[in-house]
Structures are given as structure tokens and as C-alpha cells.
Amino acid sequence: MENPNYSYGFKSQNNECSDVKLKITGAIPGWLQGTLIRTAPSKFEVGRDKYKHWFDGLAMLHKFEIKDQEATYSCKFLESEVYKKALKKGRIAHGEFGTDPCRDLFQKVFSFFKGPTPTDNGCVNIIKYGEEVTSCTETPNPKIFDLDTLETRGNYRFEDKLRGQLTPVHPHMDNEGNIYSYLTEIAYKSFYHIYEAPADSKERRLIASIPTKEFAYIHSFGMTENYVVFLENPLVATPLEFRFKDKPFIEKFKWKEDRGTIIHLVHKNSGEVSTIKTDAFFCFHHANAFEQDGEIVFDLITYEDASIVSFLYLDELRANNPSLAAGQLWRYTISTFDNTIEKKLLTELPVELPRTNYESINTKPYQYVYAAANLEPGNFLDALAKIDVNTGAETIWQEEGCYPGEPVFVPRPSGASEDDGVILSVVLNARKGTSFLLILNAQNLQELARTEVPQHITFGFHGQFFALNS
Ligand SMILES: [Fe+2]
């Protein structure tokens, strides 16, 4: 097949719009009422300056409002301090994940997480804290925005003494709405502070602090009923390297194969930590974790090493070269009796950006992972996949010239089964240079409807659906 230019998904989109009524093909289910909000790096140049990495671009919020089987689309830049400063100065004014704009000694303080504020360019995920909806990146500086107008309001702040410079954009939540996450505190002696943020309080409860001389780049973690499954990738740095190395954030980390991947099982109530070392691998995303018969089971997407991070530089992505865009979905099983580890490949398909029926199956045995997949080697993420983790059965959605993003599962109210619902995915049609919201039946990945957006939406990472009146 001709390889269309998916690099369109990495071309800046500067056009904001509001409540554009979308043309619909097919029929949106009547029960699907609510708002899909996604964030994505959307502006890759400021003046003559260019961001270097996909994770660097200035964030734009994208909203699909679905009501009475119709849909509207709005998009607006997140007005972070980083965004406002860049526009005011006409150049990149703050360090990001893979770009450091340092020009002189004074500007060196404005790196990814240092300076008066760490970066607040929330281009990675949408997280709801209490009643506040925020757009986040990997610093503890989430930006609150108005779900109706997409206006940026300010920062979400916890009110306690826990400190740290890095935090994941994938916290977990239990059935009572309590949030679990961690902070990496970078100091002479560094720590990972694992915490619980109660649903009704801005004061977090510290569960455990794990000391480390070298701290790891970590993007997400797993959670069972009783444990936080916290993995240290062997992509690490020391505080001294962070302070003195004149490099962008992620380039200060080194791959240390011999360190292996370190698994910490942190008991949520007692704070006890059990640590196990396994062979080195790199992971961005966990899919799910649970306890069964005295074992901790966790599913995650892994890579042999961290070269995926280098592949995601914009020059590489725009080159349309054969590329590595997805990893392998593995199941790890650890015995809580003797810490032995077993692993099993759940699918041969290269996949990324996994989602599940989170509200129903989080911390429980489950059946389905939905993910973006790469079917044609080198063709970026060119399909959506549903994986039955018990049987390995795969269901695929694919369309020539189309590049889908993260599949967000939305359950049908009072749904009868784990996969009773729809998948929402923003897809780039590279042949037309525009994007559409694809709505699939989650049971068979058959198309129910698509809504055409009159412009392209840059490739992003994550988003959330907020059901009307939920
Ligand atoms: Fe992520």
C-alpha cells in the first residue's frame, strides 16, 4: 500500500475554533451523551525556534461534545505560563521534555522542572481532581480549565507538605474516588513518594517513601486492590547530572542495562515495600493489574530498551522512515510467597496507548485491552486493536491512509458485559489532511459513526470522556 504522509499529524495546528457543528456519517448511539476532552502537543514552532520532541509541543485542548446524536468540536490552546511566555517573547522560553532553549547562564534556570515554576505545558493527559478538570504533563503543575469554554483558569494545588519535581500523568483511582500516585523528589538523596489523595481532601496521605541514588524516568504504574505496582525503568539520572548537565530533560537520563528493571510492590495500607529485580525493559504504559490466588498480575507494554524515546523526536517522526511506534503487551505474574516472576506475551501485535473499561475492571481480573496498533511495519500507529488477554484473540479496525489515536472506552449505562460500550478515537485521515472522531462498537470494532472535523488534529496521547450528568 502507498504510504501516505502521516507526518501531517506532527504539523502545527494553530487554528482555534468553537462549537463547530460536525458532519456525521452513520449514527451516534442515543445513549452516548457527554464530552470527550483530549490534549495534544499542537504548536511545534515559536518564532524561529522549533521544539525537538513530540512531547514538547505547546498544548491544545480538543473538545467533542456529543448530545442527542449530534456532535460539535472546539479547540483552544492551553494558556499555560509556558505558552503565554513563549508568545510574549516570540520564542521558546522554557525547557521541555526534549528541548532546552538555554541561551545563556540566566536562562539555564528555566528548564523542564526548575526555575520559578516547572513547565505547566499540559500536553499529555486530562485528569480530574475533585470537581476540577486539569490538563497535565509530568510535573506536579496541572492546569485547571473550564470544561465548557476551554478557558484556562490556574493551577491545581494540593495543600500539604509533600514535595517533588516529577509525577506521572496516569494516577489511579479506586471506587471511592481516592487517587493514588507518586512524586519523585530530586535531591542529594532522592525519593519516590507514593501517596493517596483522598477524594474529599486536598491533603495527601503518604504511603511510602522509597529512597534512590539514581532516579528513573517513569511514565505510569500499576495498581491492585492492595498494592501499588511501581516499576523503575533502567533509564536513570543522578541529581548532580540534572543540575550540571547542559542537556534537555530526557537526554540527562542514561540507559543502564545492568541495573535491570526494578519492581516495587508497595502495600497501600501498611506502606511495606517488597522489591524485586528483573531483566531490563522500558515501559511507558501499564494496562491493568490485579491480585489472584496469592499472585500479583500486571499487564504492561514494554520495549527492549529506551530507544522509543529517541524515535519520538520530531525530525524522526516527520521523516516517514520505517519506525518503531509500538511495543509488546506482556503479562507479569509475581508470587507474593516467594517473589518468583513469570511472564507471558499476550499478543504478537505491536501496540501502544492501552485503555480498558477502567471503572469496571481496574484492580480486577479482566478480559479486554484496547490499544492503537502498528500493523504495517514502519507505518506509525495505523490501526486499533482489541485484545482478549485471556485467549489472545484480536479484533482490528483499520482503514487505508488513516492513523488512529488512543481508543477511549465509554461504557453503555447499565451495560451487560465488560465490552458493552463504544470506543472513541481521533483519527487522522492523511489523504485528506483532516481528522475525524471515530465511534466504534467496542464488542466487534465495527464502525457506528464518524464525525468529520474541518481541519487536522495533531497526534496526541491521552484524553477522557465525561458523561453528561455523571
Ligand atoms: Fe501516557
Residues 6+ apart with CB under 8 A from 436: 426, 427, 429, 450, 451, 452, 453
Q: Looking at residues 181-193, what average pLDDT do you find? A: 93
Q: Give the span between the Cα atoms of 387 and 347, in whole angstroms.
A: 7
List, in order of start, the domains of the chain with CATH numbers: 6-467 (2.130.10.10)
- In the prediction, which pLDDT does 109 show? 38
- In the prediction, which pLDDT does 114 show? 53
Q: Give the span between the Cα atoms of 94 and 362, in whole angstroms.
A: 37
- In the prediction, which pLDDT does 444 show? 98
Q: At residue 216, does pLDDT exceed 50?
A: yes
51 CB burial (10 A radius; 0-12, 13-18, 19+): buried
- In the prediction, which pLDDT does 121 show? 94
Separation of CA 150 and ligand 1 centre (Å): 22
- pLDDT tens digit sequence for 89-123: 998 888 888 887 764 444 443 455 554 468 899 99
Separation of CA 351 and ligand 1 centre (Å): 13
Neighbours of 271 (CB within 10 A): 13
Separation of CA 462 and ligand 1 centre (Å): 7
- In the prediction, which pLDDT does 249 show? 85
- In the prediction, which pLDDT does 222 show? 98
Separation of CA 89 and ligand 1 centre (Å): 30
Separation of CA 237 and ligand 1 centre (Å): 21
Q: Looking at residues 165-187, what average pLDDT do you find? A: 94
Separation of CA 460 and ligand 1 centre (Å): 10
Average pLDDT, the chain: 92
Separation of CA 219 and ligand 1 centre (Å): 6
Task: Flag the least confident range among 59-63, 255-259, 335-339, 344-348.
Answer: 335-339
Q: At residue 307, does pLDDT exceed 50?
A: yes
Separation of CA 41 and ligand 1 centre (Å): 13
Separation of CA 138 and ligand 1 centre (Å): 10
Separation of CA 37 and ligand 1 centre (Å): 15
Separation of CA 324 and ligand 1 centre (Å): 17
Over the Cα atoms of the chain, what is R_g? 21
| Residue 272 confidence class, pLDDT cut points 50, 70, 90 | very high
**pTM given for the model:** 0.95
Percent of the chain exceeding pLDDT 70 equals 94
Separation of CA 38 and ligand 1 centre (Å): 12
- In the prediction, which pLDDT does 116 show? 45
| Residue 223 confidence class, pLDDT cut points 50, 70, 90 | very high
Separation of CA 402 and ligand 1 centre (Å): 21
Q: Looking at residues 183-211, what average pLDDT do you find? A: 95
- In the prediction, which pLDDT does 461 show? 97
Separation of CA 156 and ligand 1 centre (Å): 20
Separation of CA 461 and ligand 1 centre (Å): 6
- In the prediction, which pLDDT does 425 show? 98
Residues 6+ apart with CB under 8 A from 78: 39, 58, 59, 60, 61, 121, 122, 123, 135, 143, 145, 152
